[in-house]
Amino acid sequence: MLEIKNLHVDLEDEEKTILKGVDLSVEAGKVHAIMGPNGSGKSTLSYVLAGRDGYEVTEGSATLDGVDILDMEPEERAAAGLFLAFQYPVEIPGVGNMTFMRTAVNAQRKAKGLDEMSATDFLKMVREKAATLKMDNEMLKRPVNVGFSGGEKKRNEILQMAVLEPKMCILDETDSGLDVDAMKLVAEGVNALRNEGRGFLVITHYQRLLDHIKPDVVHIMSEGRIVKTGGPELALQVEREGYEDIKAEVA
């Protein structure tokens, strides 16, 4: 589903290379996890895939279902089915959560040549999905992420994911800033979305999230490359030995 080949990325403003040849392939129905120390390029990878400004791809490719996404605008990638759950969800004052999601859904429907969803159908759909994430009506009415706690923001990301029904979900450090209960809730939300047609790329620093979202494949990223790939046991090895030992092992 998601094919990344030899991806090299520089920061636009500074002459700094962040990704130095990433190869990765996420199949439909699978959950891949990327672990790695701070500064290894994990978040950059997620931003580059989603099309954020400020990065320059100098080499390599990334395709979604065989279609090159690197030349697309961010909204085109979204319509193609790519979703990024942000590490730091952005606040948009004055814009109701519901309005935001509805605008997004209708924008994606328009891009696909579909009619807008009626307000009542939309409301019903969102309420059902919000209930499973224990989000009440109040949270749906509040401005996007404004005054939300860390846990509420992350749940809101997962709600948007559930509402937009993407093919390929990238979760960037979704566990950061969450207590155990909030993490469980978020993980349940993600697990409920796992199905045969959907791929996941879960980026995390710690192994603990992977106790709740069981990955099929674990990659270790270091200094802009994937240095080791294995099964779920690799995450446990990181937990035991730390990144330094693994880096030493592959070096």
Partner 1 sequence: MAALDDTKVKEGVDQETVDAVREMAGTYKHGWETDIEMDYAPKGLTEDIVRLISEKNEEPEWMTEWRLQAYARWLQKEEPDWAMLDYPEVDFQNQYYYARPKSMATKPKSLDEVDPKLLETYAKLGIPLKEQMILAGVEGAEAAPAEGRKVAVDAVFDSVSVGTTFQKELKEAGVIFCSISEAIQNHPELVRKYLGSVVPVSDNFYATLNSAVFSDGSFVYVPPGVRCPMELSTYFRINAENTGQFERTLIIADKGSYVSYLEGCTAPQRDESQLHAAVVEIIVEEDAEVKYSTVQNWYPGNEEGKGGIYNFVTKRADCRGDRAKVMWTQVETGSAVTWKYPSCILRGDDSQGEFYSIAITNNWQQADTGTKMIHLGKNTRSRIVSKGISAGQAQNTYRGLVSMHPKAKNSRNYTQCDSLLIGGKCGAHTVPYIEVKNNSSRVEHEATTSKVDDDQLFYCRQRGMDEEEAVALVVNGFCKDVLQALPMEFAMEAQQLVAISLEGSVG
Contact letters for partner 1, residues 106-145 (x by CB under 8 A): -xx--x-------------------------------x--
Q: Which of 216, 210, 176 is nearest to 29 (CA)?
A: 216
Residue 51 found at the interface with partner 1 (CB under 8 A): yes
Contact letters for partner 1, residues 4-43 (x by CB under 8 A): ----------------------------------------
Beta bridge partner(s), residue 172 = 203
Task: Using DSSP, state whether 19 is helix, strand or coil.
Answer: strand
Residue number with CB closer to partner 1 (157 or 225): 157
Q: How far is the CB of 228 from partner 1 (least distance, A)?
A: 29
Q: How far is the CB of 67 from partner 1 (least distance, A)?
A: 16
Q: How far is the CB of 203 from partner 1 (least distance, A)?
A: 15
Cα–Cα distance for residue pair 138/206, rounded to 1 Å: 32
Cβ distance 65 to 108 under 8 Å?
A: no
Q: Which of 50, 51, 45, 39 is nearest to 7 (CA)?
A: 45
Q: Which of 25, 28, 47 is nearest to 173 (CA)?
A: 47
What count of Cα atoms within 13 Å lies in the side-chain half-sphere of residue 76?
10
Residue 84 found at the interface with partner 1 (CB under 8 A): yes
Residues that bind partner 1 (CB under 8 A): 50-53, 73-75, 77-79, 83-84, 86, 89-95, 99-101, 103-105, 107-108, 111, 143, 160, 164
